[in-house]
Amino acid sequence: EVDRIPVWVMRQAGRYLPEFRELRSRYDFFTICRTPELACEVTLQPIQRYDLDASIIFSDILVIVQALGMIVEMQPSVGPVIPDPLKEPIDLDRLKQSIDVKQELGYVFEAITLTRHRLNGQVPLIGFSGAPWTLMCYMIEGGGSKTMSKAKKWLYKYPEESKRLLQILTDIIVKYLIEQVNAGAQMLQVFESNAEYLNSELFDRYSK
């Protein structure tokens, strides 16, 4: 039971705030993500403009993919693009098999701590991560897709390697979320945005 049922509405609206567009004219997307002061500023912009119930740290689910050693570009009018996606199981060897989350993603934690301080209790701060299957899709598809056919093909053609990749991602995500809480996040969201592309049998098989 809660006083007010939380509703997630038009989460992209912040992208179109004039103050955000001004900042984006000077810095590329991932520079803002990797610069705690800038990420904090963008996180606070909607709070300063509107009477909202919570703030969410400015970041992107694909920072984990970058931490694993893959290049991710944010292309205008396209969105995230991975120029050299995973094509065959041997490509898994290109990934860092384990990472120091604090070292590779410390800029996110610094942004959370800074934002939490500047919010000064005004509203709660939400942290987040992409979920394993959704990140796997981007890593194999090389970006967005209407079918996720390449990623789904991996599940059927390379089941063991798919499990290996999902486990690598799961281990990092767990550590990443724990460190977000340690940095000051008061609530966490895990985005499994591509769950709709799996039937219940596949989802059940690969989520264990």
The CATH number given to whatever domain includes residue 114 is: 3.20.20.210
Domain hosting residue 92, numbered range = 11-206
Q: Is 94 an annotated catalytic residue?
A: no
Q: Which residue has the higher pLDDT, 106 or 208?
A: 106
What's the pLDDT score for residue 207? 87
The domain total for the chain is: 1
Q: Is 21 an annotated catalytic residue?
A: no
What's the pLDDT score for residue 9? 63
Amino acid identity for residue 23 in this structure: L
Both structure tokens of 120: 């000064």
Of the listed 4, 11, 51, 93, which one is catalytic? 11
Question: C-alpha 144: how far from its chain's center?
Answer: 14
Q: In the structure, what pLDDT confidence band is assigned to residue 208 with cuts at 50, 70 and 90? A: confident
Under DSSP, the state recorded for 89 is G
Q: Is 53 an annotated catalytic residue?
A: no
Of the listed 34, 116, 138, 176, which one is catalytic? 138
Amino acid identity for residue 115 in this structure: T
Read off the pLDDT of residues 97-114 as tens digits, 9 standing for 90 and up. 889 999 999 999 999 999
Per the domain annotation, does 112 fall within a domain? yes
Residue 104, phi then psi, degrees to nearest 5:
-75, -30
Per the domain annotation, does 5 fall within a domain? no
| Tokens 């009477």, located at residue | 51
Q: Is 24 an annotated catalytic residue?
A: yes
Per the domain annotation, does 4 fall within a domain? no
Both structure tokens of 208: 């264990």
Q: In the structure, what pLDDT confidence band is assigned to residue 177 with cuts at 50, 70 and 90? A: very high
Convert 98-124 to b/e letters by CB count within 10 Å (16 or more is b): ebebeebbeebbbbbbbbbeebeeeee
What's the pLDDT score for residue 127? 97
Per the domain annotation, does 6 fall within a domain? no
Read off the pLDDT of residues 50-92 as tens digits, 9 standing for 90 and up. 898 999 999 999 999 999 999 999 998 899 999 999 999 999 9
Per the domain annotation, does 162 fall within a domain? yes
Q: Is 60 an annotated catalytic residue?
A: yes
